[in-house]
């Protein structure tokens, strides 16, 4: 993220997203692009700080702020490895003006939640601090900019400050030592070999994090954090940009520039003609994989020709990835998935990367296929019709030859690095070298066969259905929605918005799901979407459909839950017809799996199960699926059940939200949704109050147990507290539960990270989807507290978290605590009102609410009134009462804790933490409830409210 003048390719490249709506312009390939960012108030202060300010009215009354610093881990000396990242942490901890994480508290007090709205990232080349803040009060923007000014030059580095933050940084380091982290680090070192980048991973070295002195940290900060190395970016709902510029000057202009600051050195990444090979064996790897990376120098975006090349490059990757997808869906495919992309790794180097996941012992076969596919030899790979509206001026003139030339960047003589990842050693470096020589020989001799394209039908729907008609229509002016009852029984509710010009979202749901099945057929039927998806649930095979949808933005997916079946889609307004055609095809397609279909899907499923067996988190989160269970799946029954799930339109309610014109959309709705034939007899037509419930119970005592990981993954510790909401207080208690979970998260984070400095992050989540969607009875669920930590102190930290929850139950929160969570909730609510996803979810929830009785507007109103009552009545006393009522009180008498412990940490260390009796109880509970809990989690969106 390089935002200083003359070096802003990332900013400029994003402008291509806006070309669709621009008029054609006269261009010359040699024309130089302006160095001044488009539509931005840009400048430089006398002390060297660069600023960019842009007005953007969406979302309303919000601003995104960033301080980009051209200082990263590559600038560290040996004794500083990890210090750039430590500085980033210390910035939020203590500065000249703020102390003891008061910055975090201030930002939360204005509704900017820690993590989501205040965060930072350190990479090899830069550190970027980001804030997302409300600006509906004049002082908020000024105060937020002043926070970034503190980061720029006033970070305090005392011994106490460093010691408090050291534990959080160590925990972040430990968290990156899992299988993925180890593999990524190994690949990075291989890619950067011969460069300082190879020895300067941003996370640093554990010994430096543990022992670095305040003097070393302060020296690094003072050496590199200078105004000329920084840029301030402000984008938001500003009445004018000049007033924001004046605020930037107010908070930054008095900062004195350094007299003789060191120049930021430039580090190179050496090229190499011979490919580098690595066979990485990782016992916890999710599966076997191959990664091929070819490094090239970063080309600055300066001319129209450079810009045109970016478009041609993106077309190349689109075409290549389509080929990979088709190959992965053939009989005995060389890999299960494969994709290619380009990415800037570090300031001087870009990489063209291909990655595939393949069957066990299949890495050499996958590598051979990947290498063969990128030798395109300039044959046409995509026509100029592809995405014809994209970049109107340049795209029609890009030739197939221009696109195909990007295959040259994948040649193994171009600084190529090839790595395999396997859970057990199979492919050797010599094996990989042999494959490269073999494919190079094929290419030199011209023995690579041209691509044989499948026949692609022109129309998704071959015979247009007879349109249905509207039986009833209701206008819900309070929420700006219209409801149509169609002649085939389907209910459709649509809401027109202007939040995003290019977005339409929709979801359809019907009651009745996996809970209605006999236990013996549950597993087969739960795989229905997976098996059906590989065959083609929309009337065409996925590999064919991919080509049919080229140039369109229309996606539809399906889901089978415990109590509901649903389909969801996302499309461009111009492609709404295509999306609705896919829904129509979903209902009229009869799936019949063939032997090849089943073979491919089950092979992929078995590889997935083997990956889960290697992943220590699988056993921790769920009961692992066994290969034997997969092999008992009846694919014909799975497809039969899936067919029945999406057959009867009269059982479905569909909600559509986005940038739609009713004059255009309604005829399409009648044609493709109203045209779905209604079966002569009801199919899976369930009444919500008569659905079968899942048989599960919550432990009524204390359970503390531990699972031992077979690898070196960090300890992970969730604490679960059961929740039960009474029917008579349902509306208020649902909102209260959400607020209380945010209160618990804030307070636990304050204790475990900001006070004791022993965790990196903590999350508190609420799940209320365990009940069947009946309109009567209480709601059961859980509140889960999650964090990772050092195994040696896991028991202590769990106890500290429980102590804090108990303290809140017995003493209540402070006025400041209540004010902060109300502000965070309000700001999130205001943001949601400007997002299609929020309205889609709210309208769906109103239909699914237990108070729904045919009037979705009334249901919506009751929920909003419940929220308002809760907010208006929330005080420290009412919050305390809610915590006593919603979760067990006192909390230490009923909870469940399960810890995932690395194998190197012996269980005897936790002798005081776990009793053998508790472990036996947990095993019993887990064994009897595994099916119920699996179904329960599936039904999360079907929460009663």
* DSSP notation for 705-723: EEEE-SS-PPEEEEEEEEE
Q: By three-state DSSP, how is residue 471 classified?
A: strand
Check if the beta carbon of residue 108 is closer than 8 Å to that of residue 824: yes
Distance CA 51, CA 53 (A): 7
- Give 573-577's long-range contacts (Cβ < 8 A, gap of 24+): 573/501, 573/502, 573/503, 573/504, 573/658, 573/659, 573/660, 573/661, 574/389, 576/504, 576/660, 576/664, 576/665, 576/668, 577/668, 577/672
Check if the beta carbon of residue 507 is closer than 8 Å to that of residue 492: no
For residue 71, whether the previous peptide bond is cis, meaning omega lies within 30 degrees of 0, is: no
543 φ/ψ angles, rounded to the nearest 5 degrees? -65, -35
Distance CA 741, CA 883 (A): 10
Sheet of 702-708, strands arranged across:
702-708, 895-901, 715-725, 779-789, 763-767
Fill in the DSSP letter of residue 622: S
Alpha helix stretches (DSSP H) within 789-835: 794-811, 815-832
- Pairing label, strands 895-901, 715-725: antiparallel
* DSSP notation for 123-175: -SS-EEEEEEEE-SSHHHHHHHHHHHHHHHH-B---HHHHHHHHHHHHHHHHH
Among 76, 80, 88, 534, the active-site one is 88
Check if the beta carbon of residue 346 is closer than 8 Å to that of residue 410: no
Check if the beta carbon of residue 289 is closer than 8 Å to that of residue 421: yes
88 is catalytic: yes
841 is catalytic: no
Distance CA 249, CA 255 (A): 10
The tokens of 56 are what? Answer: 């953007």
Among 165, 284, 534, 607, the active-site one is 165
Residue 293 CB partners (closer than 8 Å, separation 6+): 187, 191, 351, 352, 353, 354, 416, 417, 418, 419
336 φ/ψ angles, rounded to the nearest 5 degrees? -85, -30
Distance CA 256, CA 625 (A): 62
- Compute and round to an integer the Cα radius of gyration of the chain: 29
Degrees, nearest 5: CA angle 72-78-81: 45
Fill in the DSSP letter of residue 940: G
CA dist 87 to 65, 129, 159, 215, 307, Å? Answer: 19, 11, 13, 12, 36
For residue 304, whether the previous peptide bond is cis, meaning omega lies within 30 degrees of 0, is: no
CA dist 505 to 93, 99, 551, 622, Å? Answer: 40, 44, 19, 31
Residues with catalytic roles? 88, 165
């Amino acid at each position: 993220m390089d935002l200083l003048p003359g070096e802003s390719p990332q900013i400029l490249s994003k402008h291509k997203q806006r070309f669709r709506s621009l008029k054609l312009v006269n261009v010359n390939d040699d024309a130089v692009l302006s160095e001044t960012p488009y539509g931005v108030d840009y400048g430089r202060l006398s002390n060297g700080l660069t600023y960019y300010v842009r007005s953007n009215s969406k979302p309303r009354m919000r601003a995104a702020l960033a301080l980009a610093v051209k200082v990263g881990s590559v600038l560290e000396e040996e004794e500083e490895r990890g210090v750039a990242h430590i500085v980033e942490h210390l910035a939020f901890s203590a500065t000249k003006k703020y102390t003891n994480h008061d910055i975090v508290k201030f930002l939360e007090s204005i509704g900017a939640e820690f993590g989501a709205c205040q965060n930072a990232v350190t990479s090899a080349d830069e550190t970027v601090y980001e804030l997302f803040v409300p600006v509906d009060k004049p002082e908020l923007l000024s105060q937020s900019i002043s926070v970034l000014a503190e980061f720029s030059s006033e970070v305090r580095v005392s011994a106490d400050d460093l010691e408090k933050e050291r534990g959080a940084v160590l925990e972040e380091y430990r968290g990156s030592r899992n299988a993925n982290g180890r593999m990524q680090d190994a690949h990075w070192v291989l890619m950067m070999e011969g460069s300082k980048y190879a020895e300067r991973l941003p996370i640093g070295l554990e010994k430096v994090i543990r022992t670095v002195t305040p003097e070393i940290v302060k020296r690094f900060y003072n050496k590199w954090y200078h105004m000329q190395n920084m840029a301030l970016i402000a984008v938001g709902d500003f009445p004018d940009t000049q007033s924001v510029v004046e605020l930037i000057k107010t908070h930054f202009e008095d900062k004195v520039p350094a007299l003789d600051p060191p120049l930021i050195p430039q580090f190179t990444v050496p090229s190499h003609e011979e490919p580098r090979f690595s066979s990485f064996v990782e016992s916890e790897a999710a599966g076997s994989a191959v990664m091929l990376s070819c490094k090239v120098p970063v080309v600055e975006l300066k001319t129209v020709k450079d810009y045109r090349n970016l478009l041609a490059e993106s077309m190349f990757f689109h075409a290549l990835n389509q080929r990979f997808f088709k190959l992965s869906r053939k009989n005995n495919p060389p890999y299960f998935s494969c994709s290619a992309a380009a990415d800037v790794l570090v300031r001087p180097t870009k990489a063209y990367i291909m990655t595939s996941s393949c069957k066990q012992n299949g890495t050499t076969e996958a590598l051979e296929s990947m290498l063969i596919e990128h030798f395109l030899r300039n044959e046409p790979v995509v026509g100029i019709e592809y995405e014809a509206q994209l970049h109107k001026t340049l795209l029609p003139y890009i030739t197939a030859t221009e696109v195909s030339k990007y295959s040259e960047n994948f040649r193994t003589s171009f600084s190529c690095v090839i790595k395999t990842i396997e859970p057990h050693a199979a492919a050797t470096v010599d094996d990989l070298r042999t494959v490269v020589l073999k494919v190079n020989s094929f290419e030199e001799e011209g023995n690579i066969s041209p691509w044989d394209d499948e026949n692609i039908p022109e129309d998704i729907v071959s015979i247009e259905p007879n349109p249905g008609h509207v039986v009833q229509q209701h206008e819900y002016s309070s929420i700006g929605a219209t409801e149509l009852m169609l002649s085939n029984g389907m209910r459709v509710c649509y809401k027109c918005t202007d939040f995003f010009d290019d977005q339409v979202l929709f979801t359809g749901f019907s009651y009745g799901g996996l809970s209605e099945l006999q236990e013996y057929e549950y597993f087969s039927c739960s795989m229905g979407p997976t098996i059906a998806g590989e065959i083609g649930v929309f009337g065409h095979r996925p590999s064919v459909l991919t080509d049919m949808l080229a140039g369109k933005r229309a996606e539809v997916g399906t889901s089978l839950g415990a109590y509901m079946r649903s389909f969801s889609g996302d499309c461009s307004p111009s492609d709404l017809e295509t999306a609705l055609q896919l829904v129509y095809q979903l209902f009229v397609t009869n799936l019949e799996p063939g032997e090849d279909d089943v073979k491919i899907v089950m092979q992929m499923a078995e590889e997935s199960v083997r990956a889960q067996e290697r992943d220590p988190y699988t056993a921790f989160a769920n009961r692992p699926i066994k290969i034997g269970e997969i092999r008992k799946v009846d694919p014909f029954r799975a497809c039969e059940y899936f067919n029945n799930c999406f057959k009867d339109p009269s059982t479905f309610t569909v909600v559509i939200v986005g940038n739609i014109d009713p004059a255009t959309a309604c005829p399409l709705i009648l044609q493709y949704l109203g045209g779905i034939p209604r079966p002569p007899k009801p199919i899976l037509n369930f009444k919500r109050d008569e659905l079968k419930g899942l048989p599960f119970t919550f432990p009524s005592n204390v359970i503390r147990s531990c699972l031992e990981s077979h690898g070196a993954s960090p300890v992970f510790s969730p604490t679960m507290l059961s929740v039960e909401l009474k029917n008579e207080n349902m509306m208020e208690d649902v909102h209260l539960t959400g607020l209380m979970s945010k209160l618990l998260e804030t307070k636990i984070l304050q204790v475990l990270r900001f006070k004791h400095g022993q965790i990196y992050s903590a999350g508190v989540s609420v799940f209320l989807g365990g009940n069947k969607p009946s309109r009567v009875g209480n709601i059961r669920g859980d509140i889960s507290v999650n964090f990772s930590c050092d195994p040696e102190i896991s028991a202590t930290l769990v106890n500290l978290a429980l102590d804090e929850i108990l303290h809140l139950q017995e003493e209540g929160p402070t006025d400041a605590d209540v004010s902060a969570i109300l502000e965070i909730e309000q700001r999130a609510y205001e943001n949601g009102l400007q997002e299609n996803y929020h309205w889609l979810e709210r309208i769906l929830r109103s239909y699914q609410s237990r108070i729904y009785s045919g009037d979705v507007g009334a249901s919506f109103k009751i929920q909003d009134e419940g929220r308002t009552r809760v907010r208006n009545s929330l005080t420290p006393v009412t919050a305390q009462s809610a915590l006593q009522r919603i979760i067990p009180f006192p909390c230490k008498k009923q909870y469940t804790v399960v810890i995932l412990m690395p194998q190197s940490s012996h269980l005897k260390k936790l002798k005081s933490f776990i009793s053998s009796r508790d472990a036996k109880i947990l095993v019993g509970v887990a064994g009897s409830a595994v099916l119920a809990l699996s179904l329960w989690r599936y039904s999360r969106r079907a929460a009663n409210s």
